[in-house]
Structure 1
């Protein structure tokens, strides 16, 4: 059979494609909003459970009782953050006047490599203080504050067959009650 004799494949309907795109866009928007909301509520519940009884993880189960994932608390991190770059640059220049660790523009700034080194030392110490190696004096480092650098959050760890089991439960309607709220609601 030649190419001219091949039966013509039906082209996808532009109307059907447009409908599919519109439906998927709406679903993606609703899923994103629902995920943001439930993530916030899970985080609050995990924070409360950890304070109350030390709980740091919880299983995610399908209606059948099959565990598909574990949700685990991740602690936030605290470290040095430059809050006043000019004050820090003036201090670095005063501490090491013979070194070229700052640059003068309109304002004095610590060179990025030196800033990373200095913040690393402060992070290791856990305070915005540095010990002068020559005198042993403990010095406050102006323009730097130790504060949270990453918020507490949580992560989902899927069990090996968890994703497929969840997809099957969705496909078969076992999650219809949980998913109904995502598609409910009016125009935004």
Structure 2
């Protein structure tokens, strides 16, 4: 071969590429749906196990007995959530009338910087309460409730070599029972 020539590369079949893309699109959609379903079921089971036995993590173990990953419970968070901005703004105005921490539009609102400051103080207090810094009095804040701000969830942590071992178990059919729903027939 001369220096001006290049080795001819085999041309991929456009039909083969189209079929591969269609198959992978279907597989990706089914995997996404199956993952969403199993995450919800795992979360319910972890929550129940945590309430019943204090379990906060579980090992993912292949049929061969090899541990490939760990699933750990992540606790949710709670905090102050403003549910009635108008009630909060009116309260701030009545409580600190000499301050310009509110502004009047069609309804009175708390300026964003002051709201962030008040929410931070409530988070530190662990309740919808703030201290009046001039009197030291602890005040209950209307229009704010304490509720979950981030859902309880869980995380999967792979062990070294766990992904390869899981891929091999999938390739050899050892996970056929766990992955049957992905390849089962279905309607669109």
> What residue number does 1:186 align with?
186
Deviation at 1:173, TM superposition (A): 2.6
> What residue number does 1:62 align with?
62
Describe the superposition over 1:87-133 as per-residue Cα deviations: whole angstroms up to 9, x where unpaired.
Answer: 11122222222323223222222222211111111111121122223
Gapped regions of structure 1 (runs ≥ 5): none
> What residue number does 1:138 align with?
138
> What residue number does 1:126 align with?
126
Deviation at 1:86, TM superposition (A): 1.3
- Within 1, Cα distance between the matches of 2:6 and 2:51? 70
> What residue number does 1:166 align with?
166
Equivalent residues in 2 for 1:37-116 (5 A)? Answer: 37-116=37-116
Q: For the structure 1 residues 74 and 7, does the alpha-carbon distance in structure 2 shift closer, same or farther, using more than 3 Å as the test?
A: closer
- Within 2, Cα distance between the matches of 1:174 and 1:30? 19
- Within 2, Cα distance between the matches of 1:16 and 1:107? 62
1:11 aligns with 2:5: no
Gapped regions of structure 2 (runs ≥ 5): none
- Within 2, Cα distance between the matches of 1:49 and 1:186? 33
Partner-residue secondary structure (3-state), 1:160 = coil
> What residue number does 2:177 align with?
177
RMSD: 1.6
- Within 2, Cα distance between the matches of 1:99 and 1:167? 63
Q: For the structure 1 residues 2 and 90, does the alpha-carbon distance in structure 2 shift closer, same or farther, using more than 3 Å as the test?
A: same
TM-score by length of 1: 0.91
Partner-residue secondary structure (3-state), 1:72 = strand
State how many pairs are aligned.
187
